[in-house]
Amino acid sequence: MRTIQPLLRSGLTVAAVAALPLALTAGPAAAGPGISVSTSGSTVSVTTTACSRTAPTGGWGTASLLTSSQANFSQGRQVALSGTTSLQSAAWSNVSPGTYTVIVMCASNNSTAGTQSIIVSGSATPTISSTASASPSRGVLGGLGGATKDYGTLTLAVGGGLVAVGAAATAWFLRRRSRPYRL
């Protein structure tokens, strides 16, 4: 019974140490459906999946395009959302270059589906600046750590060395603890 408890405790410690690199490399979780905003020339469009139910009046919701000088939803250029239960969208045309904020309000529960800032430029390539409530533009990149960033050979070698040193220290500690006499 005396050797089972230390081995059990050390086994839990080894499991926790083994799980630590996985916990440190895990990325943040997505925070709901949000909205996706894009530009094409002077047209700004928004899509969302958050407003999947209609209000009693039959509308999906409303999207508002705010300039940097406008403070709330009602001051912006408002457009009714159109679409289906799986995807709703709205668009504004003839938008002059500048920084804008797009806010989408669902009609069924009067909640905000998301907020995203966007920069409309005179060039053909749009520049998007998103906030925390925006969904990722490239989708989910799956994989076992490092799927979105290349850490390089040196970083991986140092990490592997640290794991090897930790495993050797754990083995030495457990071997030393298993001896009936201690020096």
The crossing angle, in degrees rounded to 10, of helices 4-25 and 153-178 is 170
Q: How far apart are CA 30 and CA 75, in angstroms?
A: 30
**Per DSSP, which regions of 9-111 are E strands?**
35-40, 43-48, 61-67, 77-80, 82-83, 88-92, 98-106
pTM over 0.75: no
In the predicted model, is pLDDT for residue 110 greater than 80? no
In the predicted model, is pLDDT for residue 86 greater than 60? yes
φ, ψ at 131 (rounded to 5°): -100, 180
Q: How many residues does the chain have?
A: 183
In the predicted model, is pLDDT for residue 132 greater than 80? no
In Å, the largest CA–CA distance within the chain is 84
Helix %, strand %, coil % for the chain, to 5?
Answer: 30, 30, 45
State the pLDDT at residue 22: 42
Q: How far apart are CA 32 and CA 136, in angstroms?
A: 11
State the pLDDT at residue 165: 97
State the pLDDT at residue 148: 56
For 33-75, the pLDDT digits (tens) are 578 898 888 889 999 888 877 777 778 888 999 988 888 888 8
Which residues are bridge partners to 118 per DSSP? 100, 128
Q: How far apart are CA 117 and CA 134, in angstroms?
A: 9
State the pLDDT at residue 157: 92
Q: In a 10 Å sphere around its CB, with 0-12 CB exposed, 13-18 middle and 19+ buried, how is residue 134 labelled?
A: buried
For 7-33, the pLDDT digits (tens) are 556 555 555 555 444 444 433 333 345
* Cβ within 8 Å of residue 92, ≥6 positions away: 43, 44, 45, 65, 77, 79
Query: What is the rounded average pLDDT for all residues in the chain?
Result: 74
Host H or E run for residue 19? helix 4-25
Mean pLDDT of 127-133: 51
Counting residues of the chain whose pLDDT is more than 70, the rounded percentage is 62
